[in-house]
Structure 1
């Protein structure tokens, strides 16, 4: 196998959507940008995403039993970058939904999830969540990530 750098470069050629996963941890709303997201199952409805074990917020999501996943719309690049760089959610850009989850305001879709399973995956942990609720807004397109740059779809 080639180096991790060449693997990362190769994987950058696969376009993905951009999500922010958010939870409450130690009394704070914590978020992380994730493009390692996929659906897993329809019955029960399951999704997965992964977090680097060395990430400063890994414990928040590994210990949390519930979290939200916000699909960012094409105008939310700033939020994606903020949540990639900062542990707390961006001030004034999130709220708590009716089910008590911290969510990104204006996201195209929000999934309310309950932790279903965690699996080791190399230097990451794969977190599988059962979708307990779904909310959608208008179709404002999607934020994408390709070759280490944000893009806009729709």
Structure 2
């Protein structure tokens, strides 16, 4: 199978859209990602996957911490900013959670300390111990499906 066929197959799995943030020497860094999942309830662990060519890789290795900001459907522009799809400078509002920058208004903010990292293929998996989290009441999640932004469709269920 070729790379495109593999990417197309993986694209058929709908994922949420997140912005991973960290801070190094007082500078905030972020990147859009969809490779995130929970790992364990006890202890509370999550994992993110960062590509070997991403500038964020060295930032997380240096800071040893990261935050996951789960975006809602009305935050598509933020996803595009941190994915490099919007090139002009835009102001992004950050808050602090457990001494990490988090995106103001994200539906969920999760602050983590890196407890382990694994190089697998062309990515590094960072396992993070959750040190704090914040939940917001907000709209439906921003989704990514078949290489495009998407959202939930509501249908009525007849019983």
**Normalised TM-score (structure 1):** 0.91
Aligned residues: 150
Maintained 8 Å contact 1:94/1:102: no
1:70 aligns with 2:69: yes
**Unaligned segments of structure 1, at least 5 residues:** none
The structure having more radius of gyration, on CA atoms, is: 2
Inter-partner Cα distance in structure 1 for 2:129 and 2:97: 18
Sort the Cα spacing of 1:6 and 1:38 in 2 relative to 1 into closer, same or farther, 3 A: same
1:41 aligns with 2:40: yes
Report the CA distance between 1:98 and its aligned residue.
4.8
Sort the Cα spacing of 1:66 and 1:110 in 2 relative to 1 into closer, same or farther, 3 A: same
Partner in structure 2 of residue 5 of structure 1? 4
Give CA-to-partner distance per residue, 1:109-137, whole Å, 9 cap, x none: 00011101100110000111111101011
**Unaligned segments of structure 2, at least 5 residues:** 154-159
Report runs of 4+ in structure 1 exceeding 2 Å deviation. 90-94
Three-state SS of the structure 1 residue aligned to 2:99 is coil
Partner in structure 2 of residue 135 of structure 1? 134
Inter-partner Cα distance in structure 1 for 2:97 and 2:52: 31
1:73-112 superposed matches below 5 A: 73-85=72-84, 91-112=90-111
- State the superposition RMSD in angstroms: 1.6
Sort the Cα spacing of 1:116 and 1:98 in 2 relative to 1 into closer, same or farther, 3 A: closer
Maintained 8 Å contact 1:32/1:83: yes
Inter-partner Cα distance in structure 1 for 2:152 and 2:36: 17
Give CA-to-partner distance per residue, 1:12-58, whole Å, 9 cap, x none: 00000011110112331000111001110000000111000111221
**Normalised TM-score (structure 2):** 0.88
Partner in structure 2 of residue 26 of structure 1? 25
Q: Which moved more, 1:37-46 or 1:96-105?
A: 96-105
Inter-partner Cα distance in structure 2 for 1:70 and 1:121: 24
